[in-house]
């Protein structure tokens, strides 16, 4: 999520799922399992996780 800047702190939420493009041009999503676990233990709401998955898929397809 976007970085939030406060007078005495900086915060962001890591949504875990990432899209990487290797030197050979291979594009892949990684860490979906970490996102699933974060939802399961209540650190991330399911609707936010769904949006993260949708954005990751869009980026993956665009690359």
Q: What is the pLDDT of residue 7?
A: 96
For residue 56, the enclosing domain spans 16-62
Residue 3 domain flag = no
Answer yes or no: is pLDDT of 35 > 90.
Answer: yes
Q: What is the pLDDT of residue 3?
A: 94
Q: Which two tokens stand for residue 36?
A: 């699933």
Query: How much is the pTM?
Result: 0.80
- 47 exposed, middle or buried (CB, 10 Å; 0-12, 13-18, 19+)? exposed
Buried residues in 37-46 as b, exposed as e (16+ CB within 10 A): ebbeeeebee
Enumerate the β-bridge partners of residue 19: 29
Residue 51 domain flag = yes
Q: Count how many domains the chain has.
A: 1
Q: What is the pLDDT of residue 1?
A: 82
């Amino acid at each position: 999520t976007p970085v939030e800047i406060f007078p005495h702190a900086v915060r962001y939420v890591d949504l875990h799922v990432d899209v990487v493009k290797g030197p050979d041009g291979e594009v892949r999503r990684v860490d979906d399992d970490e996102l699933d676990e974060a939802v399961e233990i209540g650190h991330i709401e399911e609707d936010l996780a769904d949006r993260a998955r949708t954005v990751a898929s869009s980026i993956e397809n665009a690359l």
